[in-house]
Amino acid sequence: MEHHALGRSGLFVSEITYGNWLTHGEGVERDAATACVRAALDAGVTTFDTADVYAQGAAEEVLQHALKGVRRESVEIATKVCLPTGPGRNDRGLSRKHVVESCNASLRRLGVDYVDLYQAHRFDDEVPLAETLIAFDDLVRAGKVLYLGVSEWRADQIAEALRIADELGLRSRFVSNQPQYNMLWRVIEPEVLPLCEDEGIGQIVFQPLAQGVLTGKYLPGRAAPAGSRATADGRAPAFIARVLGDAVLERVQLLKPIAEQAELTMAQLAIAWTLSRPGVASAVIGATRPEQVRENAEASSRRLDAEVLKQIDDVLGDLVDRDPAKTARMMDVKPEWRTGPASS
């Protein structure tokens, strides 16, 4: 397993990050989730990503259980704040109140004294950016957070945050960005990646498999296979339905000969593609079974040469989306709050 410095910071992360969105506490039972985490550790994964909103806190609790007995200093734990975690108006966003309260709650659920990376899950248009940055800086000064990052922010938002942090003389600047990024979805390339490269911000990208579409298991004109994310319980089917379509699935099938020539599975080809991109320090994978973790982790250190990258571009052609305006916004996320305990 390769490890890379996160941007120009001193924090090293494993090239594969294990994430538990739509799995732990929601679509995967606790024992299965623990088995997946243990498989990740066995594969050399040291970086684990979660969020306060995943399964309304249950995902963080399951991760604590799965990492029980693991030396705290041997892993990097990342979580996030911003999206709705309760029914109240202050149970969302990046106000000082919600940032501090959410951080404390995440630490309790994770069973740790600090998190290695604390990320703003979305940009908040309703809170002064200086308020958010000062709250983050205070958490760093208090020793509850070691490094700071963002997720799904536009280039201008990241730039403004860096400017304000410097203007206020804050000790802590963002060192990471967690965007959606894969062969089909490249909206960070025109603006976000160049800015981050200039400012020393590393990328921990999520959805390298495009919700499983790039594994090739979904076939055009056919029902989704049993046991896949598209047929799972919880919210997973709704998310993957956004990227399922025969036009995409037909092109994806054309990637199979490229993967075979590179002696990779389709999943490994997709992950290796993201890890071959400039500025990417790590790719976040999720899993419901340990064998998926092992397969995906084998993509670490596998770099694709220029000819393979060109072949992929030729196959996908006009299906690739590079529109920076499509970076997710907080207002695009429905403020849901589920009453009652989350399943685990």
DSSP string, 272-304: HHHHTSTTEEEEEE--SSHHHHHHHHTTTT-PP
**Model pLDDT, residue 275:** 97
List the chain domain ranges: 3-216+266-304+322-332
Q: Any residues with CB less than 8 A from the CB of 239 and at least 6 apart, and which? A: 22, 211
What kind of architecture, by CATH, is found in domain 3-216+266-304+322-332? Alpha-Beta Barrel (3.20)
Q: Are 209 and 215 in contact (CB under 8 A)?
A: yes
What single letter denotes the amino acid at residue 73? E
Q: Any residues with CB less than 8 A from the CB of 108 and at least 6 apart, and which? A: none
**Model pLDDT, residue 98:** 98
Q: CA 21, 276, 189, 163 torsion: positive or negative?
A: positive
Number of Cβ atoms within 10 Å of the Cβ of 12: 15
pLDDT per residue rounded down to tens, the chain (344 residues): 999 999 999 999 999 999 988 777 676 788 999 999 999 999 999 999 999 999 899 999 999 999 999 999 999 999 999 999 999 999 999 999 999 999 999 999 999 999 999 999 999 999 999 999 999 999 999 999 999 999 999 999 999 999 999 999 998 999 999 999 999 999 999 999 999 999 999 999 999 999 899 999 888 776 666 555 554 555 555 555 556 678 889 999 999 999 999 999 999 999 999 999 999 999 999 998 999 999 999 999 898 999 999 999 999 999 999 999 988 765 455 444 443 333 32
Largest separation between any pair of C-alpha atoms in the chain: 57
Q: Identify the bridge partners of residue 4 per DSSP, sorted by sequence position.
A: 13
**Model pLDDT, residue 143:** 98
Where does the chain have alpha helices with state H? 30-42, 58-66, 96-110, 129-141, 155-168, 192-199, 236-240, 246-253, 256-261, 266-275, 290-297, 306-316
pTM of the model: 0.89
3-state secondary structure of 249: helix
Active site residues: 54
- The angle, 0 to 180 degrees and rounded to 10, between the axes of the packed helices 96-110 and 129-141 is 40
**Model pLDDT, residue 237:** 52
